[in-house]
Structure 1
Amino acid sequence: MEDDSESMENCAAEADRFSQARNQRSQALLEDYTELIADLIAEHGEARITDIARHMGVAHPTATKAIGRLKREGLATSRPYRGVFLTAEGEAMAVKARERHRIVLELLLAIGVPADAAELDAEGIEHHVSEETLSAFARFIARSS
């Protein structure tokens, strides 16, 4: 019986890890969109769905669906014929995502990863690194500067 109980606990733990991974991927998508929207607004004064789709490398309906989710999550608003804009919460998410990216990128460069690879890898790592690890990265960068 103990084997069955232990097996069930292992399954529950594994299911929890998979659930956390799915949530992280979902959060990463929101972060990527808010960061891009903030960049487009800074550069062009607005973020049009057509531009968002082109920069994300997705079809217009895919971008529209993602923007719908941002709006439901309270991260963005849109105005007819005006584009997409971030709420204060969306802007905060974009700033945090940009800072996470910067720290991961600086760490990768500090340990000798070539710039092109570091940029590409930072884009993936930034969404999956814990706050504790990110803080350790920042401390390492500060010491090696």
Structure 2
Amino acid sequence: MTPDDAPDCAAQPAERFNQARAAQANAVLEDYAEMIGDLIEEMGEARITDIAARMGVTHPTATKAVGRLKREGLAVSRPYRGVFLTEEGAALAERVRARHRTVVDFLVAVGVPEENAELDAEGMEHHVSDITLAAFEAFLKARTP
């Protein structure tokens, strides 16, 4: 390795760390979108109180997260009603739900108990690249008779 190679070598870990930080920042948004989608399916709307209870956070924390979803164009709220996902927010929630299911199915297929797979998938689903996710899906498809 020459001194000229050093910046390239240094950039690789930096890029990986940047990607991980970006995924972490989006993970919270994705979790809230998914939870709001679940609540809407179950109850017809998602109230801040219900969101906070399901996420295990305080009312102000849930309010702040919903505010971010609204700023990103992923959710809207109506006076004296709950929070609703926009078309874009609903699509995000569905993508996250599908990623979660794929990660769980893969982990179970390689021998991880279902309960552990569900817990592990909560973190992994946000950090698995599209390439890795496609490999998981191909693995699962190859196992299906």
Query: Same fold, TM exceeding 0.5?
Result: yes
1:100 is matched with 99
What pairs with 1:37-116 in structure 2 (closer than 5 Å)?
37-116=36-115
Amino acid at match of 2:143: S
1:74 is paired with a residue whose SS is coil
Q: Cα distance, 1:83 vs. partner?
A: 1.0
User: Structure 1 stretches of 5 or more lacking a match?
Assistant: none
Query: Equivalent pairs: percent with the same residue?
Result: 60
User: CA RMSD for the aligned pairs?
Assistant: 1.5
What is the TM-score when the length of structure 2 is the normalising length?
0.92
1:142 is matched with 141
2:16 is matched with 17
User: Structure 2 stretches of 5 or more lacking a match?
Assistant: none
Using the alignment, how far apart are the partners of 1:22 and 1:102 within structure 2?
23
Q: Cα distance, 1:109 vs. partner?
A: 1.0
1:118 is matched with 117
Amino acid at match of 2:56: G
Using the alignment, how far apart are the partners of 2:57 and 2:43 within structure 1?
20
Using the alignment, how far apart are the partners of 1:31 and 1:69 within structure 2?
11
Using the alignment, how far apart are the partners of 1:59 and 1:11 within structure 2?
40
2:127 is matched with 128
Using the alignment, how far apart are the partners of 1:48 and 1:3 within structure 2?
59
1:77 is paired with a residue whose SS is strand
Q: Cα distance, 1:4 vs. partner?
A: 5.5
What is the TM-score when the length of structure 1 is the normalising length?
0.92
Amino acid at match of 1:118: A
Amino acid at match of 1:136: A
